[in-house]
Amino acid sequence: MLARIQLSDEEIERLTGQLDVIVDNIAKVSQVATPDVPATSHPIPLQNVYRPDVVGETLTLAQALQNAPDAADGRFRVTAILGEEQ
Amino acid sequence: MSGTDLTRLTAADLAGQLASGEVSSVEATQAHLDRIAAVDADIHAFLHVSDHALEVAADIDRRRAAGEELGPVAGVPLAIKDVLVTTDMPSTSGSRILEGYMSPFDATVVARARAAGLVPLGKTNMDEFAMGSSTEHSAYGPTHNPWDLDRIPGGSGGGSAAAVASFEAPLALGSDTGGSIRQPAHVTGTVGLKPTYGGVSRYGAIALASSLDQVGPVTRTVLDAGLLHDVIGGHDPRDSTSLTDAWPSFAEAARDGARGDVLRGLRVGVIKELPDSGFQAGVSASFRAALAAMEAQGAEIVEISAPHFEFGVAAYYLILPAEASSNLAKFDSVRFGLRVTPAGTPTVESVMAATRDAGFGDEVKRRIILGTYALSAGYYDAYYGSAQKVRTLIQRDFDAAFAQVDVIATPSAPTTAFRLGEKIDDPMQMYLNDVTTIPANLAGVPGISIPSGLAEEDGLPVGIQFLAPARHDAQLYRVGAALEALLVDSWGGPLLDRAPVRGGVA
């Protein structure tokens, strides 16, 4: 699932009903979204926002790792990437 | 000390007394910490109270005594919404997944507040990741409305609004993605302003929906909001959506507005498509009375049409989940936050899914699922694409309206504070709460909510919202301060004087 959330059966049942109601309500956007209307992604259009190409203040290694659930040798440590069957 | 309760002062008055040496920042800060200790068990506005507030205050006092030139609000205490990251206090955004998170940097608005000599008191409660209108979606329990503890303080920034309404802080920072500053102001009898999109830096604001989020002031008076806005506003190279405009002083605009001349000849638009029948009777009655008060001072009330506002909620609840599902993908159990490892032979992917199930509340799950669905191949054009077109139509409605009027006025929300638990199982009803506030976020225009009175039927606060064209925030301070002066005068004192006194004798 794209959301990457492991839901229980009970949660799936509850959320499905609620999401059906919400989707029915929000589908009305298509009533007025005719092909001649351009899309707006950003309320105040800005283009080409650059910063000077100089080294800024960045986090130290210790700062970057200070909130990690697990770290080793100056790196984030994660669980195995592949399962047994893979 | 003369027995005045320092917590009842406005930030402007307190700043004056600090500057004249009448009171010290340590005294003011201690008074607010005492107030928090006395009432916050009932209100639950704070998720964390700072251990360093008195040290910071003492440092301000020392610098003032040494003759250093300090800013206009130096030494005044400040509450900070937990969506803003801070180096000296945990930042959770109301979520279990970030419990105990200590940021290695300060949000720009927090850094600016510290530089201005404001004294951070603590972090305020909020709906998880700012998703909600009641703070009931906080992983750490709801905040209670100081007017009636069984009722919601609004959301997502219910903690900041309740903190200023219950005199735990004179100033607070909020964030507003669909009304999270203005709707809490409405239900607590306080003032909240959402700046023009890009007017205030979001660097260090834990992102909800990046094309909608704005940080802004939460206070008891319009002038106090202007003072805080002056501290936090302006360009920040660390936020690439930050505008490079030179902004006027908003405190000055509020002082100018309080003189009242701005109302003469002011054209105030009232939206035909938001008829009184859509609001609780006491809310529309308070709104109409406020308009009449402005009219009596020479304002002209003009009916305008905004035919696409009715599609705003639908568009918002597509755009927000779409952006949120992407922003919240960073909570992957790798770099920060909770990690839950399921039994058996876990992989990084099963750990991620188990972590997000355990760490996110229902509302966050709903919106992430909705967002991934709206963005998925096959549905993108019908949902997300259409919602972006509605956004264009709403912007055009605003453009047409502002060709006819100087500001738009609406009631800030459809009802007064509802009861805790009343809408928690009906997300769609909760969403419809935001009908008046959402269009401003979709179009990027600024909006303010100020108290307009109490609803006759339940005696609870009501707010009036003003909207202005993008970049015209100063106009909202002028108009808001003008109406505030009229109303406070007619009431014989601030609306909050009529709220129940909490925490025993002050």
- Each residue's pLDDT tens digit, B188-204: 999 999 999 999 999 99
By mean pLDDT, which of A3-7, A81-85, B310-314, B317-321 is the weakest?
A81-85
Q: Which of B345, B353, B376 has its CB closest to that of A4?
A: B353
Q: Which of A40, A76, A81 has its CB closest to that of B335?
A: A76
Instruction: Give the list of residues 6+ apart from residue B326 with CB closer than 8 angstroms, or none.
Output: B371, B375
Per the DSSP assignment, residues forming a β-bridge with B450 are B464
The answer to whether residue B156 is catalytic is yes
Average pLDDT over residues B210-235: 98
Residue B392 to residue A18, Cβ atoms within 8 A: no
Residue A30 to residue B386, Cβ atoms within 8 A: yes
| Cα–Cα dist B233/B223, whole Å | 15
Average pLDDT over residues B481-489: 98
pLDDT in tens, B91-150: 999 999 999 999 999 999 999 999 999 999 999 999 999 999 999 999 999 999 999 999
pLDDT band at B499 (very low <50, low <70, confident <90, very high): very high
**Number of Cβ atoms within 10 Å of the Cβ of B255:** 17
Taking the CA of residue A61 and the nearest CA in chain B, the distance in Å comes to 11
**In which element (H, E) is residue B188 found?**
helix B182-188
Residue B506 has pLDDT above 50, yes or no: no
Residue B504 has pLDDT above 80, yes or no: no
Instruction: Give the list of residues 6+ apart from residue B67 with CB closer than 8 angstroms, or none.
Output: none
| Cα–Cα dist B255/B484, whole Å | 11
pLDDT in tens, B324-342: 999 999 999 999 999 999 9
| Cα–Cα dist B312/B91, whole Å | 31
Instruction: Give the list of residues 6+ apart from residue A21 with CB closer than 8 angstroms, or none.
Output: B427, B428
User: Is residue B174 within 8 Å of residue B157, measured between CB atoms?
Assistant: yes
Taking the CA of residue A70 and the nearest CA in chain B, the distance in Å comes to 8
Give the nearest chain B residue to A80 (CA atoms): B347
| Percent above pLDDT 90 for chain B | 94
pLDDT in tens, B62-82: 999 999 999 999 999 999 999
The one catalytic residue in B93, B156, B160, B201 is: B156
Q: Does A48 touch chain B (CB under 8 A)?
A: no
| Cα–Cα dist B396/A46, whole Å | 18
The one catalytic residue in B93, B138, B175, B180 is: B180
Instruction: Give the list of residues 6+ apart from residue B102 with CB closer than 8 angstroms, or none.
Output: A66, A67, B87, B90, B91
Residue A40 to residue B388, Cβ atoms within 8 A: yes
Residues of B in contact with A79 (CB under 8 A): 341, 346-348, 350-351
pLDDT computed for residue B505 by the predictor: 47
User: Is residue B453 within 8 Å of residue B487, measured between CB atoms?
Assistant: yes
The amino acid present at A28, given as its one-letter code, is K
Residues of A in contact with B441 (CB under 8 A): 43
Tell me, rounded to whole angstroms, the distance of Cα B152 from its chain centroid.
15
pLDDT in tens, B209-222: 999 999 999 999 99
Residue A4 to residue B240, Cβ atoms within 8 A: no
pLDDT band at A49 (very low <50, low <70, confident <90, very high): confident
pLDDT computed for residue A1 by the predictor: 58
User: Is residue B177 within 8 Å of residue B441, measured between CB atoms?
Assistant: yes
User: Is residue B444 within 8 Å of residue B438, measured between CB atoms?
Assistant: no
**Number of Cβ atoms within 10 Å of the Cβ of B196:** 26
**Number of Cβ atoms within 10 Å of the Cβ of B328:** 26
Average pLDDT over residues B44-52: 98
- Tell me which residue of B214, B212, B165, B172 sits closest to B187, measured CA to CA: B165
Residue A80 to residue B346, Cβ atoms within 8 A: yes
Residue A49 to residue B308, Cβ atoms within 8 A: no
Instruction: Kindly list the distances between the CA atom of residue B276 and the CA atoms of B271, B272, B314, in Å, as whole numbers in the listed order.
Output: 10, 9, 21
Taking the CA of residue B100 and the nearest CA in chain A, the distance in Å comes to 9
Question: Which residues in B213-257 belong to E strands, given as ranges?
Answer: 214-219
Domain definitions of chain B by residue range: 6-306+400-497
pLDDT band at A46 (very low <50, low <70, confident <90, very high): confident
pLDDT band at A47 (very low <50, low <70, confident <90, very high): confident
| Choices 3.40.50.720, 1.10.3720.10, 3.90.1300.10, 3.40.30.10: CATH for B6-306+400-497 | 3.90.1300.10
pLDDT in tens, A4-40: 899 999 989 988 988 988 988 888 998 999 999 999 9
Q: Does A78 touch chain B (CB under 8 A)?
A: yes
The answer to whether residue B180 is catalytic is yes
Which pair of tokens denotes residue B420?
């805790």
Per the DSSP assignment, residues forming a β-bridge with B462 are B453
- Tell me which residue of B130, B116, B198 sits closest to B160, measured CA to CA: B130
Query: What does DSSP say about strands B171-176 and B77-81: parallel, antiparallel, or unpaired?
Result: parallel
Residue numbers of A between 8 and 27 with CB closer than 8 Å to B = 8, 11, 14-15, 18-19, 21-23, 25-27
User: Is residue B57 within 8 Å of residue B100, measured between CB atoms?
Assistant: no
Residues of A in contact with B338 (CB under 8 A): 69
Average pLDDT over residues B441-465: 98
**Number of Cβ atoms within 10 Å of the Cβ of A42:** 14
pLDDT in tens, B265-305: 999 999 999 999 999 999 999 999 999 999 999 999 999 99
Instruction: Kindly list the distances between the CA atom of residue B189 and the CA atoms of B40, B96, B435, in Å, as whole numbers in the listed order.
Output: 18, 30, 19
Of residues A30 and B184, more confidence is placed in B184
The one catalytic residue in B25, B81, B95, B194 is: B81
Q: Which residues of B131-155 are buried (b: 16+ CB within 10 A; e: fewer)?
A: bbbbbbbbbbebbbbbbbeebbbbb
